[in-house]
Amino acid sequence: MKNFEGSWVCSTSNCGYIYNPSKGDRKGKIPPGTPFEKLPEDWKCPICGASKKAFRPMDQLEKKH
């Protein structure tokens, strides 16, 4: 699960997009290596358009299971 380190998942229903800092977001012109915390405040989920507030850290989700 190391390749998902620092990743955040969109928590809106029917989405589940994972922002992976090592990949960035090509559609949103976010370069690889950009941590989630450094994304612009107006950044949106490339799949459903949700705001950053809809995202949850993946490591928190993994601990629940």
pTM of the full structure: 0.85
Confidence category of residue 65, pLDDT binned at 50, 70, 90: very low
Ordered strands of the 8-10 beta sheet: 18-19, 8-10, 55-57
What is the per-residue pLDDT across 13-53, written as a single tens digit (0 to 9) for each? 999 999 999 999 999 999 999 999 999 999 999 999 999 99
What is the C-alpha separation between 65 and 11, in angstroms, rounded?
A: 16
d(CA 64, CA 33): 27
